[in-house]
Every structure is written in structure tokens, then in C-alpha cells.
A and B are shown apart, each in its own frame.
Chain A
Amino acid sequence: MNTESPRAPRLTVSGVHHRYGNSHVLRDISLNVAPGEIVCLVGPSGCGKSTLLRLIAGLELLQAGEIRMDADCVASAQRHVQPEKRNTGLVFQDFALFPHMSLQDNVAFGLAHKPRAQREVITRTMLARVGLADRASDAPHTLSGGQQQRVALARALAPGPGLVLLDEPFSNLDVRLRHRLRTDTLALLRERNAASILVTHDPEEAMFMADRIALMHEGRIVQIGSPAELYYQPVSPFAAEFFGDVNRIQTHIIDGHAVTPVGRFPSSGLAEGSRAAVLIRPEAITLGAHAEAGSIAAEIIDSHMLGATTLVSLQVSDSSGGDMTLQSQLTSGIACMAGDTVWLRIDSAGAFVFAD
């Protein structure tokens, strides 16, 4: 698993624990981010990802562990560098634009230490870069949500932070706008060569944005790696289910394989006879009109066209005489109706066996 980034890290988080009262919100978190790299923290709400971001920014006090920026320790149980001294850029879910300041004053806020002329140049450049140069003296509330998000990003990037932290920066925007802004944001982050951490609960967003994804669950990082690694080599049922729907089949290990009505799946490291769960992604199930070697008969229960894909519910007969329902997601349209018999095949790259 690729847990280390290849270059010298900009940010190093090691052994971080955090509690609020009795709840242990972060457990032994270690993570590093290289300059120019974008790491996405994903996980269900309450998994601790926002707390980790706040600890890195210095908005919460670190209780145990250590956070380093380049070679310097910025936070440990003994040391707390104030947030204003950490050279991080922060983009908030609600954008947090200062309502009483114009756009240019917002963007110039973090440039107070720079000479006036330079301040103006940077502010103008940044606003032009996000396409809002002509709105420089407008108030934030006159902007649309997408424009506010762009100003928030420009403001965070203006002081040239070594580390950019984005806390669900697109969640307040509608879907279409979200997709466009992802692309714009990605381009902007890339050209600044800053290390970036983006927090999101949206797995698709994480896969789109991230060089590496850190999946968090109940205060731990359960898996970290490239989007493809997380999608195709999940380390647990939770990881597999987080990045997409799965068909789940309960079974046992026989002869080193998890045996199911739809085939035998090799299982390494699981004890003979132990309980196992086979997780199959819907798009790994393909359908054919005719029987082929290794294909299995199934009856179509219903099908729903979702646009680019079609979702088909199938019924497969169990060896013990029972029935089992599976979901298949097909990229091509299918000319079949409920009640038809089809022949399914399973792509083993989309099927995972775990101890149950």
C-alpha cells in the first residue's frame, strides 16, 4: 500500500490522538503530504476528518502526537504554534468571507505584512485568476455561491501558503456548479505547488480530486492510497462499501475459496471453513443473452435506466434451493424485460472476499 509520498513531505502528522470529553475522535493518526500533492480525507460524518483538519490548522489544541510543517514541529502536546503563524490557507464550507469587506479587502486580508504595492498586485492577480477582477470592490453578499467559493480560494491562496486545507469546499453548491468548480480548484491548487488536504464526505469527489485518499472511520485512517487502490483493493468491507454500492453474499471458505451461487472466489489468508463475505460491485456483473462457459443463469426482476448506465435487479437460484438477489450496473443498454432469463459473468477485479 502506498502510504508514503515519494517526495520530502511538506506536512507530517504522526501519532495524533484527540478526545472531546469521553469520545475518542481521533486515534493514532499518521499522514504526510508532499508539496504539490492533494490528499483527500474521506469518511462518513463524525469520523474525525474535520477535527484533524482543525488540528493541522492550529484551531484546536493538539493533545497527543505531533504535527510538522517541513522540518518544524508546529504542534505537539508541549507546543502550539498559533494558527496565524503556520502559513496555511484554509477554505471553509461556508466560505467565511468577511461580509463587511469588499472582495479585494478579503483577498488582501492575509497580506497585511506585505508592502502596499505588492499587496495590490497579488490581490489583483488572484482575483483575475478566479475571473472576478471586475468585481473587486463589490461586497461578498452580491456574489453567487460559486463566485464566493472562488473568492474564498483566492483569499486562502493569496499569501502563498505552503499547505492548503479545504473543508468540504463544494458542499454548499449545487451539483453542476460543484463539478465545474472541482476542475477549476484542482487546476489552481496544482499550479501553486502547495500541499493540499481536502476534506469531503463524497467518495466521487475524493476520487476526482485526490492524488491519494485517506479513508477515515471512527477516528482512524483505515486505508490510504491512490483512488484506484481504494476502489480496487479495499482493505475492509467498510472501505469497499464506502466507494460504491456492493452486492454482499455471506458464505464459508471451502478449499481456499469463498463459494457462492455465482462462483468461487479465491481467498488468501482465511481459515478453512471460516465465515466469509463476498462483496461484488454492481458494474463487475455483466450480462449475456446466451450461456457461455462459466456463466450463470439469472432471472431479471426489474431494470432501471439511469442515463449513462442501467441498473438491473437479478435473481439467482441458490444451491440450497433458495433465491438470491443481485444488482448489476450495465454501461450499455439492455434489451430485456422482467422475467427474461440472462447469463451473468463476474469480473473478479470487482469482487472482494473478507472474513465475516
Chain B
Amino acid sequence: MQHGPALPAHGVAFNWRYAVSVRLSGGLGAGWLLIAAIVALLVLLPVFSLGHHALQGSGELWSHLAAYVLPQALRDSLLLLSGVGIMVVTLGSSLAWLVTAYSFPGRRLLSWALLLPLAVPTYIVAFAYLDLWHPVGALQTGLRGLLGYESPRDLRLPDIRSMWGCILLLGLVLYPYVYLPARALFQMQAGGLIDASRTLGAGPWRSFFRVALPLARPAIAVGASLALMEALNDIGAAEFLGVRTLTVSIYATWVNRSSLPGAAQIALFMLAIVLSLIALERWARRHQRYATSGRQARPLAAQPLKGWRGLLACALASVPLLLGFALPVGYLVVEATKRFNFAGLEASILRETLNTVGMSALATLVATALAFLMAFILRVTRGQAPLVSMLVRCASLGYAIPGTLLAIGLLGPLAGFDNAFSSFLEQSFGISTGLLLSGSGAALVYAYVARFLAVGSGSIEAGFSKIPHSLDDAARALGEHAGGVARRIHLPLGMPAIAAAMLLVFVDCMKELPATLLLRPLNFETLATHLYGEAARGTYESGAIAALLIVLAGLLPIILLSRIGQAPASRKTAQAADAAAALPDLHAYRT
């Protein structure tokens, strides 16, 4: 037998160029590599353009921004993020532990109901509390009645329009980002270990702090980083509550001063925060994989809490649900009913609903198709093409880019394209077009797709991961080409995941506020921008119907999400659970 090294890196028999081109594209031709590159480029274009504009400089404005705007914005943003971070971690992990480690009256219901605040976008919870918390609003009047005070002068709660109010409200609707992964981990992964800890003599408290919490740290960190990305993205709550975060400052610099370079300069600071959040999330995910690998899943046996302890647990766990969901949504229902009885369903609401649904549906179709394509490319290359994998990862970074940043970054390229295109048409054909992309809402669809592509591809990739690779191989060996495998195997088997992806993307598009505010065509109102306008004018009650519609849409993914982790009783429910599990995790589910 010949033992000669016939495969040295520089062997004659080895055709590198051929191998590299086929390897990179998984044997499909370099076309797939090109597609991945284009999609990644389009998603990241706003970031590049942002850098470009910031480098242009904003002239004298910069000294003003650096002296008066930036320090305050950075301070407020960092303060807000720290506050929200502490709140979501404490609230999310302690609630998760409470509902998994103990059984008490109402636990089953609370276990999923605690997810409900996710359905309330930050700008809506702020919108509701502004009125609720008003010195002569329902909450404080009721409290005074209860305690026997007469006038607001005798008892007045601190003003909600403050940093602490903003932290409180954001924390109340964002804690489920931590609660959900922490609960899943306590339920499924920690069972055996916590049993071991208990049999070794550690009580529930010690087991929590010594075993469960350290084990859940990566999961909690992933959840927290997603919650913080959301907090950074928020524009409505901060603006309504008078907190001048980076997002608010960027928006104001662009809208009030019309300075794109100025806005871009502030946005670069925001980008630094975004990058550190992505780094945190990536780090945590790596450790999460490590923590959960190869361990037999065993559900944690809950300790019963009897008598007043059970009632206390129930009451404690109900507080976030009450404040983060029941109270604001109850307020919206009451106000929306009042409004409806007073004015009926206004034509403007119908038009805005149609606008919202139309734009969201269009963006959903594009995003889902691209997400399917990206997930397919990733599957065909099987991680053996590092460049393709990297490009696909880049294409799904949009979820971390705040809407404001995305929109400011897009303004430049869009205007450039529109101007070039219309002058081209004018010179060549003498036709005068308006602004093609900015004027038609195409810009909006672009921003939605860039921002929510990751939501879709996360869900579809999770669905694909349940299809054994041997099915692809079998179909190939039976004579089907790669595209045919996508059509006959991946599409039908991935359908539940694709449907889930569409739902998630659609609802996210409906709720999106900052990018919509900046990129919508003139006089084009969606439900979210309508609400923002009403709140900005101080006419809260007439925005209630729009807010309620957004919250109702937001409930749909939560219903889907709540089916995760429920024991499948039959084949049918197993399939339903599969569909739900196709939601990758909170990565795909963002307010």
C-alpha cells in the first residue's frame, strides 16, 4: 500500500480554485455566496452609510452636540439601560424561579400569563401610564379616595415623567425577555441538579443562589441583552416621559435641526452600545450551549406552598402582570370603549389599520422569503463554508440595530438613489418622478425587512434544525437537485416554522415605531405613528383604539409562545408543540 501524502495543501492533484468555489457555496455554484453577500450588504448598508455621514462632519453643530446634547444623552441612555437591566434580571429570574420551584394557587395560569406584558410595546405602556398616573387621573384619585384624602395637594405620587418612571415602565414590559429563558432553563435543564442540591441538604434558597442561578446565568444574560436592545430602540416611552436618551436626541437632531451628519454622529455612540450588547449576547449564547449540552432533561419537581404562603406567592407573582399588562390594557379598553361610544370607529383608524397591515404584510412576505433563502443556504453549506456562514450571520444582525439608527442610516442612500433615479428619468425620458423609494413606502419595507429578517430566519433555522440532514441526502441520492430538495422537503416540513416566522415578523412590523416615524411617506400614518402623534399632542384618549389594536396583534405570538414547554399529550399536540418550538427563543420574539 502506498502511504504517500497525496493530499498536501499544495499537491498537484488538488485543484484549489475548484475546491474553494464549490466548498464556499456547498457545491451549488458561487451564486449562493453572491446572494448571501448581497443580503448581508443591504442589511448592513445603513451602518456603513451612518459612518460615512458621521465622518462628513456637522460643522459647528458638532461642538454644540458634544457640549450640550451628547453628554446628557449618553448619561440618560446608560442610566436607563442599567436601571432596566437590573430590573429585568431581578424580576425575570425571581419570577421564573417562583413559578417553577413552587406550586401555589394560580401557578399554572400565572406561568404563561406572566409573558403577557411582552404584548405591550414600550411606547404604549408609557402612553397608558401618562394618563393613568396623572395627579387627577384614575390611579391617584382612586388611591386618595381609598386613603381618605381630598385633594391632590395632600397626596401626590412622584411624577412618572422621570428617569425612574421610565425605568419602571420599561422594566415592567421587558422582564419577560429574561423570564422566558430562565423559566425554560429551570424547568428543563436544572431539574436533576436541583434535586441533587436538595438531597445534599441545601434548602430552596440555597439551591437557587448556589445552583439554579449560576446555571441560568447565560440564559439570563441572553434575555437581558435582548431586553436592553429593546430599551435602546425605544423612542416613545423616553420621549413621553421626558428622558433624553440617545434615540430621542438622534431623532430630535434630525427632525428639528435637519442635520443628518449630526444625527449620524450621535448614532455612532449608540452603535457602540449596540455592539457591546451584541457581544454580551454572543458571549452568553456560547456559554448557554455549553451549559445545556448533553444533559438529560428532567422537569423540576415543584414544592407546594400551603396556606398564606401560597396566597402570598400568588399575590407577589401577580404584581408584574397587573402593572405591566392588566392595568395599562384595562385602561386602553376603557378609553377605547369611551372613544368608540363617543365617535364610533373613525375613518382615520380604518385607513391607518389598512396602512399598517399593508406595509407589514409586504415586509413580512419579503422578509420571510429572504429568511427561507438564507436558512436554506446555511443548510446546504452545512457550516463548511465559513464565508457563507459569516455573511448569513451578518444579514441577521439587523435585530440589534435600533430603528432610529437604521432609519438615519438609510436616509442618505435612499435620497441618493431617488435623486439619481429621477434625474436619470428626467434626462433620458423627460419624465418627472417623485422620490421613488422614500415616497412610496419602499423605504419603510426595506427598514422592516432589514430589522426583522433575523426574527424570521431564526425561526426558520430552528425549524430546519429539526429536519434530519439525512433527508436532504436521501432526496439528492434519489435524483432530486438542490432546489427541488428545498421545494419538496424543506418547504413542506418547515411550514410550521415558516408560518411562525411570518406571524412574528408581521407583528413586529406592526409595532415598529422609530423607523416608521422617520421613513414613512408624507401624510402616511400607521397605528403606531398615530398613537405617537396623539401622545405628542397630549390627546391621549383618542389614541386608545390604535394602541389596543397593536396590543391585540401582539398577543398572537404570545399565544404561540406559551405553547412551548407544555407536555405533548398526543400526536396532534406534538405537532403543535413542534410549531411552537420552531420559535427559536426570544431571539425571534421581540416587541
Contact = CB atoms under 8 A, between A and B. Distances in A.
Given A64-B13, A77-B18, A88 B6 contact: no
B239 to A, nearest CB: 49
Interface residues of A, number: 43
B7 A18 contact: yes
B479 A159 contact: yes
B75 interface: no
Interface stretch (B204-212, B279-287, B359-367, B469-477): B469-477
A35 B30 CA distance: 37
Contacts of A94: 468, 470
A94 B478 CA distance: 16
A99 B493 contact: yes
Given A19-B7, A80-B27, A59 B473 contact: yes
A86 B481 CA distance: 12
B3 A63 contact: no
A64 B479 contact: no
Nearest to B473: A59
B476 A84 contact: yes
B469 to A, nearest CB: 9
B480 A90 contact: no
A28 B479 contact: no
Contacts of A54: 473
B479 A84 contact: yes
B22 A220 contact: no
B471 A96 contact: yes
Interface string B1-21: 111111100010111001100
Nearest to B479: A84
A112 interface: yes
B430 interface: no
A88 B27 contact: no
Interface string A57-98: 111010111000000000001101011111011101110101
A24 interface: yes
Nearest to A24: B7
A172 to B, nearest CB: 12
A90 to B, nearest CB: 4
A64 B6 contact: yes
Given A96-B473, A109-B475, 5 more contacts: A17-B5, A57-B477, A61-B19, A96-B471, A96-B474
Contacts of A263: none
A83 B15 CA distance: 20
Contact of A15 (B6, B478, B493): B6
B477 A83 contact: yes
Contact of B471 (A63, A85, A98): A98
B431 interface: no
A25 to B, nearest CB: 11
B312 interface: no
Interface in A90-129: 90, 92-94, 96, 98-100, 109-110, 112-113
A155 interface: yes
A345 interface: no
A61 B480 CA distance: 18
B7 A92 contact: no
A27 interface: yes
B492 interface: yes
A27 B493 contact: no
Nearest to B495: A100
Contact of B477 (A18, A89, A220): A89
Interface in A4-38: 15, 17-19, 24, 27-28
B379 interface: no
Nearest to A87: B479
A37 to B, nearest CB: 20
10 contacts: A15-B6, A18-B7, A28-B4, A61-B19, A77-B14, A84-B476, A90-B474, A96-B468, A110-B478, A155-B478
B489 interface: yes
A90 B13 contact: no
Contacts of A24: 7
Nearest to A99: B493
B478 A17 contact: no
Interface in B1-55: 1-7, 11, 13-15, 18-19, 22-23, 27
B489 A63 contact: no
B478 A84 contact: yes
Nearest to A113: B479
Interface string B453-473: 000000000000000101101
B97 to A, nearest CB: 37
A159 B474 CA distance: 13
A84 B480 contact: yes
A267 B16 CA distance: 48
Nearest to A28: B2
Contacts of B478: 84, 90, 109-110, 155-156, 159
B19 A77 contact: yes
Contacts of B27: 61, 80, 82
Nearest to A84: B479
A44 B3 CA distance: 20
Contacts of B471: 96, 98
A288 to B, nearest CB: 43
Contact of A64 (B11, B23, B476, B489): B11
Contacts of B468: 94, 96
B480 A80 contact: no
A98 B472 CA distance: 9
A19 to B, nearest CB: 6
Contacts of B493: 98-100
Contact of B3 (A27, A61, A64, A86): A27
Contacts of B22: 61, 80
Q: Lowest 7 A-B CB distances belong to which pairs?
A: A110-B478, A17-B7, A96-B470, A90-B477, A83-B476, A96-B474, A92-B470
A83 B470 CA distance: 13
Contacts of B6: 15, 17, 28, 64-65
Nearest to B470: A96
B473 A90 contact: yes
Best-surrounded residue of B7, B478, B489 (most CB of chain A within 10 A): B478
A310 B294 CA distance: 39
Contacts of B18: 77-78
Best-surrounded residue of B2, B476, B493 (most CB of chain A within 10 A): B476
Contacts of B2: 15, 28
Contacts of B479: 84-85, 110, 112-113, 159
B473 A83 contact: yes
Contacts of A159: 478-479
Nearest to B22: A61
A193 to B, nearest CB: 19
Contacts of A98: 471, 474-475, 489, 493
B120 to A, nearest CB: 38
B1 A28 contact: yes
Nearest to A220: B1
Interface in A297-327: none
Contacts of B470: 92-94, 96
B473 A100 contact: no
A100 B7 contact: no
Given A100-B492, A110-B478, A220-B1, A78 B15 contact: yes
A19 B14 CA distance: 12
Nearest to B476: A83
Best-surrounded residue of B3, B7, B471, B474 (most CB of chain A within 10 A): B474
Nearest to A100: B492
A187 B424 CA distance: 73
A109 B473 contact: no
A38 B7 CA distance: 29
Given A61-B22, A99-B493, A110-B478, A28 B3 contact: yes
Nearest to B9: A19
Contacts of B19: 61, 63, 77
Best-surrounded residue of A84, A89, A221 (most CB of chain B within 10 A): A84
